[in-house]
Amino acid sequence: MSSHVENEVQARIAAARRREAERKQQREELAAARDVGLGYRHAQRLRNLANTPAPTTEDAPMPAALRPAVCPSCRRERPARLVATVVVSGAPHDVVRCVEQACELMWLVRAERPRTAPVAA
């Protein structure tokens, strides 16, 4: 009788190992498919980004070349020279450079643009 019980236990252990091996193989297959899909989606996104025109702020008037700003390095308000305008997360930002010769730090500040009133639909 004990051999029958041992055989049943061994059969259940073997069945559990088979099920676990099948689940492991299924997880590996899903992970491989997910990696392929992620790579494809990433490549497609890069292609879409390369084909779309870069968002610019051409319609907004450019601010004066010099503007007062608090330099993070000098820690006081100094004139800062506008270097470029970039769009970060849909919001325009000015790239400015400290005019102090010893500093010349470049940083982003929120662009000073006139706000338009929202139009009711």
Dump pLDDT digits (tens) for 64-107. 577 777 888 878 887 788 888 888 888 888 888 888 888 888 87
79, containing H or E segment: strand 76-88
Tell how strand 76-88 and strand 91-98 pair up: antiparallel
The predicted pLDDT at position 62 comes to 47
Residues of the chain by 3-state class (helix, strand, coil), percent to 5: 40, 25, 30
pLDDT score, position 9: 94
**What pLDDT, in 10s, does the model give residues 15-74?**
999 999 999 999 999 998 888 888 788 888 888 877 877 665 555 554 557 777 788 887
- CA dist 97 and 70 (Å) reads 11
